[in-house]
Structures are given as structure tokens and as C-alpha cells.
Structure 1
Amino acid sequence: MRVLLTGLTGPVGSFLADYLLTLPAVEVHAFKRWRSDPRPIAHLLERVTIHEGDIEDPFAIDRAIAKAAPERIFHLAAQSYPSASWEAPIHTLRVNVEGTVNLLEAVRRHVPTARVHIAGTSAQYGTVAPEAIPIGETHPMRPGSPYGVSKVAAELTGLQYHDNFGLHVVVTRSFNHVGPRQGDRCSIQTFCRQMAAIELGLQEPILRVGNLEPRRDFTHTRDVARALWLLLEHGQPGEVYNLCSGQATRIGDIVQMVVERGRVPVEVQIDPARLRPSDEPILRGDNRKLCAATGWKPTIGMVEIVEELLAYWRMELAR
């Protein structure tokens, strides 16, 4: 079976490729930007067929789909940071919406029977009242950032291609994913990277943080990769599934976990530059639909995540 994924160097892409390569008789292809950082995928370069291009270029993704002729497609490529979407809203919309259209048009032309996954986000829900927690797939969407708006449009685009052209499209609304090789834009990553830098004497002993009160639903990227495969195999086309752990952890409690596992004392300090124009108080998903369809459940908890990321950043910065 030939599988193609976009966004190979992103937060989930390399872990999904790792998982796919453990499956029997699976040939992995990937579409990536030529300028993407190759370090997260160095271990994959001899095992994955890479097609280079930009998701905003319809001709590039068309060539990749035609050449790879995949039977399964995971569309992960995106501008995936809400904070960056405030700085570059038009770019975010182009990458996330036009990129999805470009992919689906290529699928419709070359591999109309392929199964396609489109990655959405919990940011599509926006601010949710406490009584609506955990958030189910039927909850209204009221995104609070350009990123969230772009993902609503990408989701609806995918469902429209299912309804009008019969494509096998499955959509996830993914809550926070976290793991190594992710960069340091995510909150947990910034905390762990700073702690590692402080331990090495690369930063003064001040851990700079943003809003500590929000509660977020985190899932490790290895658990996410397994869920995506199961969902494309067993999920219903034209359906949307929350991909989440079903648990929400306060950001301040995560900071405390990092501080407790640090090797030197630090001061925790609020940095106004890390505060967003809007910040949902709690995002916790209801994952029962996904679990019922696939038998999946998360296996890696928050303590393990923090410990793994601290070890990862200590190793990275020590280099």
C-alpha cells in the first residue's frame, strides 16, 4: 500500500512516518517544502520517498500525487500556530485553505478512490462555556484566531469534496499534540527548552511564561500517529472526529512539573509578549467517537511528556 503524507517535518509528520514504517507492506511517500528543516527527518531520508514542493503551488502537489499514486493520504501541512496567524493572517489562510483545495483537486484528478485525512484543530471551537466541557463534535464552531478560521474553512472544503465528488475524506479536530522534534512554539516546549538552557548556563534563571490559567488537552505525537492510521482505516468518510486525550491540564501545573524536574532553581515570570489577544480558558475534548470507531486510547501521560521533552531539549542544546 502506498501512503503519502504532507507536512513531514511538522509536529506530527515524522512520528506518523515512523509509525507507518512499522506496518507491513506500506510504502511511504511524503510531500515537503524544499526549505523545511531536515533535522527532524534525518533518520527517515533513506526510507521515505520525498516529493518536494509547496502546498500553495497546485502544480507541485499535483505532480506529487500523480507520481506517488497513493491509496492513503494524510494532509498535515499547515501554518499551525495560532500566535503566528495573528502576525500573518493572509499567509495562514493561503496555506491552510488554498493548500487543502490544491491537494483535493489533485486527488480528484489522479486518485479519486484514495482515502484522505484532513487535520483540523480544537481552535475551531473557540471559547467554550464550562457547561459544554468536554467538547463534542456537534458543538458550534466560533474560532478565536485566524488560524482557527482557516481550519474551519479547510474542514468544510474537505467535507464538500466528499459530498460533491464522493472522495473518501475523514477530518480530525485535533487538540494539542506534543512530542520531540516539534520546535519550541508550543507552550510545553518553551518551558522545557528554557529549563534546559538555564541548566546549561545559556539563559538567566528566569522561566518566562504566558497565561498560566488555561487548561489544555495534550496528546503525545506517538499516540496521535497511531490514532490517525486507525481512523483512516476504520473511520466513516464524511465524518469529523475529535483527536484528544479527554483530559485537560492547567498550564501553570505543567510549569510546576518542569520546575520540579529542573536541575537548578528558577524564578517563574510572566512575559507580556507571550500573552495572546484571546485565550480560551479550557479546551478539553470528548474523544468517545474516535475511540468507538477505532478502539484507540492514549497511552502516554503528562508526566512522561514533560520528562521526555526535558531530556530532548537537554540533548539538543548540549549539541
Structure 2
Amino acid sequence: MDLNGKKILVTGADGFIGSHLTEELVRRGYSVRAFVCYNSYNSWGWLDQSPAEIKDALEVVAGDIRDSYRIKKAMENCEVVFHLAALVAIPYSYYSPGAYIDTNIRGSFHILQAARELGTERIIQTSTSEVYGTAQTVPIPETHPLHAQSPYAASKIGADQLALSFYDSFQTPVAVIRPFNTYGPRQSDRAVIPAIITQIASGKRKIRLGSLKPTRDFNYVRDTVRGFLEVAECDAAVGEVVNIGSNYEVSIGETAQIIAEVMGAEMEIETDPQRVRPPKSEVERLWADTAKAVRLFGWKPEYAGKDGLKRGLRETARWFADPEHLKLYKTDRYNL
């Protein structure tokens, strides 16, 4: 599919990945409608930080992904939908699992049902590497068993399977993109990389973290955004699940040391019990097999390996350390 000439909707455009994706779509000259979460402040989330030329080019619609009528209206006249709107914080899913069902599963259903009725040409459903649970084999291919170790992961499995069922049952043109641990500017500091960076940038030398042993496949947001675009453009990805990751495994502890190195800081790590997941809920190992993305559309990470991780962390740390950005975060409080 050629995205040129297509009207594109991005749900969750106000969020971390969604705002980066929305900006890139506009930069490429596409016609973009941004669906943001309604609030009484008329805030567009991270899109408020976008350059004026980006904001001027956007059509912004505020609403709630749980509102079937509102989402269908937002999808009218859009040929392509990037569906990113979701609750994503794993710790908060322990407190409010019902909200994850309503938002992540029912919200996705509203997108899929509207697409079926409107004849939408392409839906890109956003998954997560958390659906795999702790790796049984590495690197993890798309055929790896699914194992929800948190209510969040369970809700994303439900949403993914619903999307694929619409493809099988109604030929709804859905492609499922499964990003591994995306990081970069604008990410919530509930995530481990911003949590480390913001604590160091605010002058702390005793850094409070959860478990240090789990490994992750960290993927810089620019690579993730490029993955979204290439999945959308690839006809062979319809009806498929595609991993997007750096194909590099690193522990949380080593990641913290790399961040301290690129920021030129000395630090001491202490365990914060409230940041530690329940034992059976901790995903101990994630490492993406990206062979399918290479085969289908030639996608490879530009921020690959340890050197790529260092480069991405350096860019991320530079953004967070900017006083205008750092003041947006409550670094003295743990954020679920």
C-alpha cells in the first residue's frame, strides 16, 4: 500500500509513540487526523510540544477509545488507521485490571467493528512484547507461545486475537505490529529508562529501581516509528504479526550502568520494593527475533547492538536533561 493520497488516523496520537508517529507522518506529507484523549484543558498531550508547522497541518479529534460512536466518526473518510490508544502501564494494571479490558480490548473492538462497517483499507493494531511472557526460546519469534503475566499483557493478547479474528472472519485488513521495549524522548518515567535518566538528571546519586536481572530488547522510538510505517505499507503483513525490536538483549542493571556512563554520572542503585513486580508476574527475558520483518519488508534497526543503544540513550538523556522537559516529570515520586 502506498500511503500517499490516503487519509490517515492515529489513535493515541497524544502519547509517547503516537506523537512521534504522527509527527513523522506529517513530515512525509501525509494527511493526518490525530485522535487524542478528551480532557477539559484542550490538551493534545505530547502533540502540544510539536513544532507549529506540525500542529498546523493536523486535524485533531478529541474523544475516548471506549466510545464506539466517537471512534467511528473519527474513522470516517480515513483509509488507514494506526491504532495505538491503550493503557500501557503494567503496574497500574494490577490495581485496575477492568480498565485495561475496557480500553485495550473493547477499544480495539470499536476500531475493528468500525473498520468493517466503513471499509477501511488498512488497520495497524499495536501489540507488545509483554504478550510472550518470559522467553521460552531466544530470540523470540512471532510463533512463540503467548503467556500473559500481567493483566496488561492479557488485555493486549485479547486485543491482538480479536484483530486477527476479524481478519479471518471478515477479511478486515489488519496487520499486528509487536514492538519490543520502545524508549526515547517523551516516554513516561514509569518506564525504566526514563526513571533512571530523570533521577540522575535531577541530581540524585542513589537511584531507586526494581529488579535488575531481567533482560529487555530496547528499541529506539525512531526505529519503532519506521516499523509502523513499513508494516502499514507492506501488503504481505496483512493478517500477520510482526516483531519490531533491536535484536539486542541487555539486563536492566547493565542498562543503568550504560546510562550513567553516557550521562557522565556516578550512581548507586537501591531496590525500591514498590517498583518490583509480583514474582510470577515479572517477565525475566525478552529478545526479539526480527527475521520476519527483514523478510517481509527489509526492516532493520538503525540503533542496533550496544553501540546503537548507547547512541539512543545519549539522545534520550539529552532530551530529558533539558530543564524545560525535566520539569514536566515528578522525579521524586514513583509513577504507576
Q: TM-score, normalised by structure 1?
A: 0.92
- Is 1:254 aligned to 2:255, yes or no? yes
Counterparts in 2 of 1:19-38, with a 5 A limit?
Answer: 19-24=24-29, 26-35=30-39, 38=44
Counterpart in 1 of 2:333?
none
DSSP-derived class of the 2:127 partner = strand
Counterpart in 2 of 1:317?
326
DSSP-derived class of the 1:93 partner = helix
Query: 1:11–1:177: 8 Å Cα contact kept in structure 2?
Result: no
Q: Which moved more, 1:74-83 or 1:306-315?
A: 306-315
Considering only aligned residues, what root-mean-square deviation do their CA atoms show, in Å?
1.6
Distance 2:89 2:32 in 1: 26
Alpha-carbon offset, residue 195 of structure 1:
0.6
Distance 2:44 2:55 in 1: 9
Which residue identity does 2:220 align to in structure 1?
A: H
Cα deviation 1:150-180 (Å, max 9, x = unaligned): 0111011111111111111000222101110
Cα deviation 1:276-295 (Å, max 9, x = unaligned): 11212210010110111111
Distance 2:7 2:218 in 1: 30
Counterparts in 2 of 1:9-20, with a 5 A limit?
Answer: 9-20=14-25
Counterpart in 2 of 1:201?
none
Counterpart in 1 of 2:46?
40
DSSP-derived class of the 2:125 partner = strand
Which residue identity does 1:126 align to in structure 2?
A: G
- Is 1:89 aligned to 2:92, yes or no? no
Distance 1:37 1:210 in 2: 32
In structure 2, relative to structure 1, the CA distance for the partners of 1:96 and 1:318 (3 Å cut) is closer
Counterpart in 2 of 1:53?
63
DSSP-derived class of the 1:268 partner = strand
Q: Gaps spanning 5+ residues in structure 2: where?
A: 1-5, 329-336
Alpha-carbon offset, residue 62 of structure 1:
1.2
In structure 2, relative to structure 1, the CA distance for the partners of 1:208 and 1:114 (3 Å cut) is same
Counterpart in 1 of 2:294?
291
Counterpart in 2 of 1:63?
73
Query: 2:263–2:314: 8 Å Cα contact kept in structure 1?
Result: no
Query: 1:80–1:147: 8 Å Cα contact kept in structure 2?
Result: yes
Alpha-carbon offset, residue 37 of structure 1:
5.3
Which residue identity does 1:75 align to in structure 2?
A: H
- Is 1:184 aligned to 2:193, yes or no? no
Q: TM-score, normalised by structure 2?
A: 0.88
Which residue identity does 1:292 align to in structure 2?
A: R
Q: Which of 146, 159, 162 is the aligned partner of 1:157?
A: 162
Distance 1:119 1:318 in 2: 30
DSSP-derived class of the 1:31 partner = strand
Alpha-carbon offset, residue 264 of structure 1:
4.8
| Count of residues in Structure 1 that have an aligned counterpart in Structure 2 | 308
Counterpart in 1 of 2:9?
4
Q: Which moved more, 1:258-267 or 1:304-313?
A: 258-267
Counterpart in 2 of 1:170?
175
Query: 2:36–2:45: 8 Å Cα contact kept in structure 1?
Result: no
DSSP-derived class of the 2:228 partner = helix
Percent sequence identity over aligned pairs: 33
Alpha-carbon offset, residue 38 of structure 1:
3.1
Which residue identity does 1:249 align to in structure 2?
A: V
Q: Gaps spanning 5+ residues in structure 1: where?
A: 199-203
